[in-house]
Amino acid sequence: MSKLTYIELLNDAISSAMTENDKIVVIGKGVTTGGDEGIAKGFYGRFGKNRVVDATVDDRANIRLGVGLAATGALPLVLINGSNLFDCMDAIVNDAAYAPFANNNRFSSRMVICADAGHIEGDSPGEGFLDEGIFLGIEGLAVVYPSCPAHASYMMKKILAAPEGGPVLFLMGRSLKKAQVKGETSPSGGSEIIKEGEDITLITYGPMTDKCIEASYRAMEAGIECELIDLISISPLDEQVLINSVIKTGRVLIAQQAHAKGGAADIITSMLMRSPAFDYMECPVKIISTPPGPVAYSDFTGKSAVPGWEDIYEAIISMV
């Protein structure tokens, strides 16, 4: 029997939640026929036209439709077409995240907004979304970026089962969507300690996790024990998990596929500098990220720009 993929597990998680909670409504282009890559496959036949809404090609309008439905007590799940997050920013921030502040908490804006993120080979400069950090400072908006099918399913179930909350931006790594379930995972809260170690804390999320796993085991062959923390939620952060690890190891390396400026790594670094972990640090925090500027279409340029496990391994060796 073949293993389920990232999209298939998400489909199962959403379907199970819709069975248990009749307030969940799926909105998006083409969802009545399965949606992007089959994420909504079977929903229309099972739950009908009132809960599976084939909406417009304008994702901004679909998010605003979700905000209106949330105000009536529904729990909308909006599927954005591709990596169209820059166009949707006004709707996500001003209409979804800030709605409770604008209406004095009279109406809920609880909803899930699913969108693609990250780089894949052959992307044009504007196609891959590498700037999730833009959303991390938005009050009222949670952002999750699972690194594997099991984490995606775990977090989707957790979000849809929560009794209350605000809007959640659920980022799906484009390079991960065909990935299959492998190994056992045991996430807790918004993160998982994949590997324990004493020498250095390695923090990552999304598409970089597999590369960090490879780098950490290569480092182990060199006698360096990494504590590898995979963040499922990047806003809010599992701060205490990170602080406790840095107090133990004294060194921090953060790896992300996004650009460095204003990204999750900057926010994590700032948090650690202001925490009790600062007194235990033996060297400055180091960040591995995609260099400034758009990633070019060229396969060679794209591969060389986005960090690989070798870059992470070299950074580990240089710090210990």
Whether the model clears a pTM of 0.85, i.e. scores above it, the answer is yes
Q: Which among 119, 147, 173 is the end of a domain?
A: 173
- Do the domain assignments include residue 299? yes
Could you give the CA distance from residue 107 to residue 110 in angstroms, rounded to a whole number? Answer: 9
Angle, helices 6-20/149-161, rounded to nearest 10 degrees: 20
- Do the domain assignments include residue 181? no
Q: What is the pLDDT of residue 175?
A: 86
Same domain, 300 and 212: yes
Q: What is the pLDDT of residue 129?
A: 65
Per the structure, the complete domain to which residue 300 belongs is given by 191-319
Q: Torsion-angle region of residue 165: left (phi > 0), alpha (psi -120 to 50) or beta?
A: left
Same domain, 214 and 253: yes
Q: Which among 114, 139, 173 is the end of a domain?
A: 173
CATH number at residue 255: 3.40.50.920
Q: What is the pLDDT of residue 174?
A: 86
Q: What is the pLDDT of residue 205?
A: 97
Q: What is the pLDDT of residue 4?
A: 86
Q: What is the pLDDT of residue 1?
A: 36
Q: What is the pLDDT of residue 228?
A: 98
Q: Note whether 138 and 113 are within 8 A (CB).
A: no
- Domains in the chain, number: 2
Same domain, 50 and 83: yes
Q: Note whether 211 and 148 are within 8 A (CB).
A: no
- Do the domain assignments include residue 182? no
Q: What is the pLDDT of residue 111?
A: 98
Q: Which among 144, 173, 202 is the end of a domain?
A: 173
SS3 content of the chain, % helix, strand, coil (to 5): 40, 20, 40
Q: Give the pLDDT of the chain (320 residues) as one tens digit per residue.
A: 357 899 999 999 999 999 999 999 999 999 999 988 899 999 999 999 999 999 988 999 999 999 999 999 999 999 998 767 888 999 999 999 998 888 888 889 999 999 998 877 766 666 666 789 999 999 999 999 999 999 999 999 999 999 889 999 999 998 888 888 766 677 878 999 999 999 999 999 999 999 999 999 999 999 999 999 999 999 999 999 999 999 999 999 999 999 888 899 999 999 999 999 999 999 999 999 988 777 766 666 656 678 999 999 999 999 99
Same domain, 103 and 17: yes
Q: What is the pLDDT of residue 128?
A: 63
Q: What is the pLDDT of residue 178?
A: 80
